[in-house]
Amino acid sequence: MHDGVLNIYKQVGFSSNDVVRIVRRLAGSKAGHTGTLDPGACGVLPICLGRATKIADYIVAGEKEYIAEVILGSATDTQDSHGKIVAKSPKRVTEAEIAAVLPHFTGNLMQIPPMYSALKIKGKKLYEYAREGVEIERKAREIGIFGIEPLLWKSEAEPQSFVIRVNCTKGTYIRTLCADIGEALGTFAHMGRLLRSRSGNFAVADSLSIAALESFAAGGRIGEVLRPIEAVLGHMPKIRINREGHKALINGNKVDLEFVENPEDLSNSPMLTYSHENRLVGIFHIVGNFLRPKTML
């Protein structure tokens, strides 16, 4: 049984669940992904194994970085290049216009999720409604974009396009961002190619292809490319509970703060919490004069 996180490079054409199934088979362990990446996109897809499936939400919450192609002059029903073109505009855009518009897409923004998404409403995924030709009213959700910059501009191409790097919070739909940028430019736009280059502290430069993982699995060496839970959550404060608080700790009960061996490291943030034997037991946080478990490992 493996416990830890694999930094997998998802190729175009695979769904996130496809990758989970492959990793589960190769590792022989329970597995789960940390945030869906569309089949048409590629890049970083951290896969949690064993006990690490319990920390998926902490990884999902991390900042994301994407490299996206914005194709100008047309809108599609899916907001990406895999959809059907539903509107066109002859307007030509200048680099100066792009430079002027992009700063307006930073900070805390409200974004309406696209119909072609896995978001559930009334127990049904939005893309299932969309495939039936049903339009569902969606509420705008707050997202955060920490930075957006142009990387490549193809002004003379047909259609015109440019590439952007986006640093954002979870829940940001990059194809919707591309469509909104097009609207701000006075034209239509949809997303072309998409690469997730970073998810939390997992970078594409350190990612592992499925082919490479198969090679490690064949040699019984998956452990060599597996990041331990402690390493993945290394940014969290660490505390240790003494022998007197051991029973309450391992049973997932509240633990009196007097049983903390290193009280100087107590934090208002969730903390990696260890037994007096230095075994990671879970992630606890302070409530009043006690520690309470958020996640038992």
| Residue range 25-76, pLDDT digits in tens | 999 999 999 988 999 999 999 999 999 999 999 999 999 999 999 999 999 9
Homologous superfamily (CATH) for 4-62+201-232: Pseudouridine synthase (3.30.2350.10)
- For residues 224 and 134, the model is more confident at 224
Choose the CATH number for 64-199 among 2.40.160.20, 3.30.2350.10, 3.40.50.720, 1.10.10.410.
3.30.2350.10
Is 1's pLDDT higher than 80? no
- What's phi and psi for 276, nearest 5 deg? -65, -15
Give me 215's structure tokens. Answer: 């090679």
How confident is residue 222, by pLDDT bands cut at 50, 70 and 90?
Answer: very high
Is 14's pLDDT higher than 80? yes
204 phi-psi bin (left φ>0, alpha ψ -120 to 50, beta other)? alpha
| Per-residue model confidence as pLDDT tens digits over 92-145 | 999 999 999 999 999 999 999 998 888 888 888 888 888 888 888 899 999 999
| Per-residue model confidence as pLDDT tens digits over 202-214 | 999 999 999 999 9
Q: Which fold has domain 238-296?
A: 2.30.130
pLDDT for position 203? 97
DSSP string spanning 100-141? HHGGGG-EEEEEPPPSSS--EETTEEHHHHHHTT-------E
- Domain 64-199 and domain 238-296, same fold? Reply is no
38 among known catalytic residues: yes
How many Cα atoms occupy the beta-carbon half-sphere of 56 within 13 Å?
A: 16
Considering the chain, what percentage of its residues have pLDDT values greater than 90? 89
Question: Which is catalytic among the residues 38, 57, 77, 265?
Answer: 38
| Per-residue model confidence as pLDDT tens digits over 156-190 | 889 999 999 999 999 999 999 999 999 999 999 99
Q: Domain spans of the chain?
A: 4-62+201-232, 64-199, 238-296
